[in-house]
Amino acid sequence: MSKTDFPLSIDSRPVYGVFEMRAGKHHLMIADAEGAEALLDLATAAPADLWAKTHIIYIPKTTGKKYLGKLQALSPDQFYAGPSYEAAKQRIADTFSKAHMGLQVYLAGTEGLMGQAMYAATSAGIPHTAIQTEHRGSTARRMQCVHCKGITEDVTHDPFICSHCGLNLFVRDHYSRRMAAFQGVCIDAEDPGNVPKSVGLFK
């Protein structure tokens, strides 16, 4: 099962919903990995003409070819599968910049993907009321090191080592929509070297 019940957290931490079918002139769906399942679930409730107005941008990550065939079988108007969010970033920005009124946006999968795509959408002036999110799959976090500002993707353990500056960071729930990342802060600043055992908190 790809769904997660997140524990109650602080106010800066995003919450995600469950897709509902909405009327729209165009539909842009951006998903990664198990996020494909949210699109396939949506398909069971979708009107027949939905897919002819839909552009799917999909990043399989570790799921490989598992969902590719099923997504393509929906026969969307445009379909793209790419190796990483970074690789798809220009396509996503371009799509938002050319979007018209009446576009509905669906973001599904990991928090890192939804957060980055959400920021791209709102920066392009897409109203937040036209954007839906549904979390599926990994709960690994996209972390920003507050010290060197470097981003470490897919963090599963707390504390973890910053992939850029090498400091030992603890994982906060404090979240920046602009960074699309949680904040990592040095855990042993007051007692260098005294780092608690790293625990796998996210899968």
Partner 1 sequence: MTIQFNDETFRDDFSFKNSPAAIKRFPFPFHEDSYMYSVNLEPHTKTRPGSPFEFAFDVDEHYVSEMKDRAVTLADDPLRCQSLPHMTLAGWDLLEYIMEAKARDYPDLFSLTKDGNIWHWENKPLEIDQTFIFLDESTLPYGPMEYITRQTQGDFALLDQRDDNLWLDAGMITSQADWSLDFNVGMNFFEWHAPVPKANEMGIFVRALKFLLNLQQGAPARRLNWTMTVNPLLDTSPENYHKWGPMKTGLTIENIGSKQYLRVELQTLFRLPRSNAIAFPIRAYLCRFEDLMTVPKWGRRLHRVLRDIPDELATYKGFIDNKPLMLEYLSRFDDGAPTSDGIWPDEA
Residue 135 dihedral angles phi and psi, to the nearest 5°: -80, 135
**Binding-site member from 89, 91, 147, 157 for partner 1 (CB under 8 A):** 147
Which one, 43 or 146, has the nearer CB to partner 1? 146
Reduce the secondary structure of the chain to three states and give it as a string: CCCCCCCCCCCCCCCCCCCCCCCCCEEEEEEECCHHHHHHHHHCCCCCCCHHHEEEEEECHHHCCCCHHHHHCCCCCEEEECCCHHHHHHHHHHHHHCCCCCEEEEEEECHHHHHHHHHHHHHCCCCHHHEEEEECCCCCEEEEECCCCCEEEEECEECEECCCCCCEEEEEEEEECCCCEEEEEECCCCCCCCCCCCEECCC
What span, in angstroms and rounded, lies between the C-alpha atoms of 184 and 171?
A: 5
Least spacing, CB of residue 122 vs partner 1, in Å: 10
Least spacing, CB of residue 78 vs partner 1, in Å: 31
Least spacing, CB of residue 125 vs partner 1, in Å: 12
**Binding-site member from 1, 8, 11, 125 for partner 1 (CB under 8 A):** 11
| 191 near partner 1 (CB under 8 A) | yes
**Binding-site member from 144, 158, 160, 180 for partner 1 (CB under 8 A):** 144
Size of the site for partner 1 (CB under 8 A): 24
| 124 near partner 1 (CB under 8 A) | no
For partner 1, what does the binding mask look like between residues 62 and 91, x meaning CB under 8 A? Answer: ------------------------------
What residues from 149 to 188 belong to the interface with partner 1 (CB under 8 A)? 149, 167, 172-179, 183, 185-186
Enumerate binding residues for partner 1 (CB under 8 A).
Answer: 10-13, 144, 146-147, 149, 167, 172-179, 183, 185-186, 189-192
